[in-house]
Amino acid sequence: MEDKILGIHHITAIAGEAQRNYDFYTKALGLRLVKKTVNFDDPGTYHFYYGNENGTPGTILTFFPWTHVKPGRVGTGMATDIGYAVPKGSLDFWTKHFEKYQVRFGQIDEQFGEQILRFEDPDGLRIQLIEPKVEDTRTPWETSEINKDVALKGFHSIVLTLRNIKPTASILTDIFGYKLLQQDGNRYRFVTDTVENAAIVDLVEEPEVTHGLVAGGTNHHVAFRVKNDEILMHFHDKIASAGYNITPKIDRNYFFSLYFREPGGVLFELATDNPGFAVDEDVNTLGTSLKLPAQYEAERATIEKVLPKLIQ
């Protein structure tokens, strides 16, 4: 097994009202809720995972929804824009669809030779739909309104906005095995050749922009994917020897994780493919019932009372 980072595993953001978040991601964007659980560090709060049918790494966007969250601020030292790959020719569908759902979106634009449509979720989280140069072959989740010809395939890229890109670029190249592919002005595109999709990290250098505030409508962390626990621990040692504070291995039920703050200020996680989302419910019924980690099962009745009601 190669000791390699396999692109993005998941991205985690902070949202406001749970129902609004659920409705937007499953109806307006057509993703599947693959896990309804709680924040393991704050079990009175939901943790939603949206992805494709199985919640394959590279398709998973997760949220902590807090009803009365204060809005965050986009700035430096954070992941600012999430990129999803969509089929070629689908952006016209999406502009019409966004009008119908009253989504705030921009003009169709071009970036690094790819068509791109920027929009915001109901909390102001910045997302992009991108038609990749090379067609993304992943099978998407489909809904009655969003079929496979237009559906989101999973992540294309993540954008990190930084005061100075150099220290973060070193993490990507020297530790994670990414290479600089292209540069356009203050935007530097890094890519790993270990996977075909979710392989891109764009670093945008904004020396004058103030630090962002991580709260509602912003990204909390970016998780990079590794095959298994053994490779996870290989990276633990590699990152610790480079002088960074990194957590011990943490069991997140659906994957094992490590966290460290990269020098540009963004919280990075490394997460394993194993065991995946089918570990505690059948693939056919993923996301339909509240799943709790073993340590909270005894408090289920209290937790269910505290969590906002969710109509699915």
* Token digits of residue 208: 């004058």
At 167, give phi and psi (nearest 5°).
-65, -35
Least distance to Zn ion from the beta carbon of 255, Å?
Answer: 8
Least distance to Zn ion from the beta carbon of 243, Å?
Answer: 23
String of contacts with Zn ion for each residue 128-167, x by CB under 5 A: ----------------------------------------
- The smaller minimum CB distance to Zn ion, of residues 13 and 200, is found at 13
- The smaller minimum CB distance to Zn ion, of residues 136 and 269, is found at 269
CA distance 21 to 139: 23
DSSP state, 162?
E
CA distance 199 to 271: 15
- The smaller minimum CB distance to Zn ion, of residues 123 and 269, is found at 269
Least distance to Zn ion from the beta carbon of 11, Å?
Answer: 8
Are 21 and 124 a contacting pair, CB within 8 Å?
Answer: no
- The smaller minimum CB distance to Zn ion, of residues 206 and 273, is found at 273
Q: In the set 12, 80, 90, 272, which binds Zn ion (CB under 5 A)?
A: 12
Which 209-228 positions form the footprint of Zn ion (CB under 5 A)? 223
Least distance to Zn ion from the beta carbon of 54, Å?
Answer: 18
Q: In the set 38, 269, 272, 303, which binds Zn ion (CB under 5 A)?
A: 269
The number of residues making up the chain comes to: 312
Query: For residue 113, how far is the Cα from the chain centroid?
Result: 23
Residues with Cβ < 8 Å from 92, sequence gap 6 or more? none
* Token digits of residue 304: 């269910």
CA distance 161 to 173: 17
Number of residues that bind Zn ion (CB under 5 A): 3
- The smaller minimum CB distance to Zn ion, of residues 12 and 197, is found at 12
- The sheet that has 60-65: what strands, in order across it? 32-39, 42-51, 60-65, 8-15, 219-226, 267-275, 255-261, 250-251
- The smaller minimum CB distance to Zn ion, of residues 267 and 286, is found at 267
Q: Is 272 in the site for Zn ion (CB under 5 A)?
A: no
Least distance to Zn ion from the beta carbon of 250, Å?
Answer: 10
List residues near Zn ion by CB under 5 A: 12, 223, 269
